[in-house]
């Protein structure tokens, strides 16, 4: 080839590639037997015409390719599961939840709940579930504090905890929830049990408060606060209120009060579905995902307790489509330096039994 004869595109491409190689590897190509390496570079590794850059000073072009090794790994699906029943549409949890309050629907039991200037009657009406288990908290005719309280054990320190209870107005239509943390910090809020329900500030600054109107005049009221760390015993107080700012201290009227049911204290940033307790705290896991032992593929949900009759179960979820590759190996072609292509791969969907 004459010295002034321009290089072909293939020769120019090969020259650029050779310049990028270390000296010892470049020598192997140039000094290889019968120029075999150079022929390979100019032939098998030469880009096709449509892969060459356009005329001009272009030095970059886009290469689109895919690569995968045959695999049988399956990623389990994720699920956001809901059950709509008397509580509303409640998110279910695959991790443990604990209600630390004892006798959560047995607030009349003075072995677990201490009362001050009130009496609590059982079976006083229809509770939120439709059963005759509502409680009625009635004042005594005392000018002083009116409340019920419990100091549950084993509540985690330095974490968000939420106290919640179902309340219904009678002669009193305002109630106060108060939480004293392990560090002695006191937070409270006042809940108005009428209309859509409303919340007013009490002591301290809770992390969150909420009131949700339920059926038949019931409301679920909740207050969230950091449990703190220290020597103080964490305590929950539930109080009727006359003015919405009295801390439960006022001149009581014998027999006046509010309905209540279903108290809960949990380590959570908000109230979750109700966990009834007896003489001990109760931990529950709402559901577990059922997976195939061989494939690790999630194919079902197992509830810890069956949803109530007529409850609606719904879910938001991701799913995988199990399949297998038709071949155990795949042939790749080296069509350019450091670039490979796979022209065909086949797979078949599978049924996991």
User: What is the predicted pLDDT for the residue at 68?
Assistant: 39
pLDDT above 70: percentage of residues in the chain: 69
Chain mean position to CA 174: 33
Query: Dihedral (C-alpha) 249, 251, 256, 259: value to the nearest 10 degrees?
Result: 0
Instruction: Single out the residue of 309, 220, 206 nearest to residue 262, CA to CA.
Output: 220
Instruction: Single out the residue of 171, 188, 276 nearest to residue 239, CA to CA.
Output: 188
Are 119 and 140 within 8 A, CB to CB? yes
Domain with CATH 2.60.120.260 in the chain: 96-284
What would the CATH number be for the domain defined by 96-284? 2.60.120.260
Are 168 and 193 within 8 A, CB to CB? yes
Instruction: Single out the residue of 92, 77, 74, 71 nearest to residue 290, CA to CA.
Output: 77
What would the pLDDT profile of 192-242 be if each residue is shown by its tens digit? 999 999 999 999 999 999 999 999 999 999 999 999 999 999 999 999 999
Q: Is this prediction's pTM over 0.75?
A: no
User: What is the predicted pLDDT for the residue at 321?
Assistant: 60
Query: Dihedral (C-alpha) 210, 212, 218, 224: value to the nearest 10 degrees?
Result: -20
Give the contacts of 226 (CB within 8 A, at least 6 positions apart): 158, 159, 160, 161, 181, 185, 207
What would the pLDDT profile of 151-207 be if each residue is shown by its tens digit? 999 999 999 999 999 999 999 999 999 999 999 999 999 999 999 999 999 999 999
Instruction: Single out the residue of 166, 163, 160 nearest to residue 87, CA to CA.
Output: 166
User: What is the predicted pLDDT for the residue at 315?
Assistant: 78
User: What is the predicted pLDDT for the residue at 9?
Assistant: 62
User: What is the predicted pLDDT for the residue at 65?
Assistant: 37
Low-confidence ranges of the chain (pLDDT < 50): 1, 44, 58-77, 353
């Amino acid at each position: 080839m004459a010295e002034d004869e321009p290089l072909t595109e293939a020769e120019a491409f090969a020259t650029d590639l050779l310049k990028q190689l270390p000296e010892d590897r470049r020598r192997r190509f140039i000094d290889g037997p019968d120029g075999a390496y150079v022929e390979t570079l100019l032939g098998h590794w030469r880009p096709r015409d449509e892969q060459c850059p356009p005329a001009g000073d272009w030095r970059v072009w886009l290469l689109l390719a895919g690569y995968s090794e045959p695999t049988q790994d399956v990623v389990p699906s994720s699920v956001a599961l809901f059950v709509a029943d008397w509580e509303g549409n409640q998110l279910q949890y695959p991790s443990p939840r604990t209600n630390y309050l004892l006798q959560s629907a047995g607030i009349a039991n003075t072995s677990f709940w201490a009362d001050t200037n009130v009496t609590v009657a059982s079976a006083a009406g229809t509770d939120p579930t439709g059963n005759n288990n509502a409680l009625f908290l009635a004042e005594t005719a005392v000018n002083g504090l009116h409340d019920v309280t419990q100091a549950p054990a084993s509540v985690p320190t330095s974490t968000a905890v939420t106290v919640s209870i179902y309340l219904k107005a009678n002669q009193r239509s305002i109630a106060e929830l108060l939480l004293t943390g392990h560090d002695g910090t006191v937070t409270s809020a006042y809940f108005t049990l009428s209309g859509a329900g409303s919340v007013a500030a009490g002591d301290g600054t809770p992390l969150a408060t909420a009131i949700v109107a339920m059926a038949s005049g019931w409301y679920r009221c909740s207050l969230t606060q950091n449990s703190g760390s220290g020597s103080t015993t964490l305590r929950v107080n539930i109080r009727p209120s006359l003015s919405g700012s009295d801390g439960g201290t006022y001149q009581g009227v014998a027999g006046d009060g509010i309905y209540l049911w279903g108290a809960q204290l949990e380590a959570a940033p908000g109230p979750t579905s109700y966990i009834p307790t007896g003489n001990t705290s109760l931990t529950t896991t709402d559901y577990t995902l059922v997976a195939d032992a061989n494939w690790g593929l999630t194919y079902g949900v197992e509830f810890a307790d069956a949803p109530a009759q007529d409850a609606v179960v719904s879910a938001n979820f991701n799913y995988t489509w199990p399949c297998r590759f038709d071949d155990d190996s795949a042939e790749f072609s080296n069509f350019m330096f450091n670039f490979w292509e796979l022209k065909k791969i086949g797979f078949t969907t599978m049924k996991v039994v």
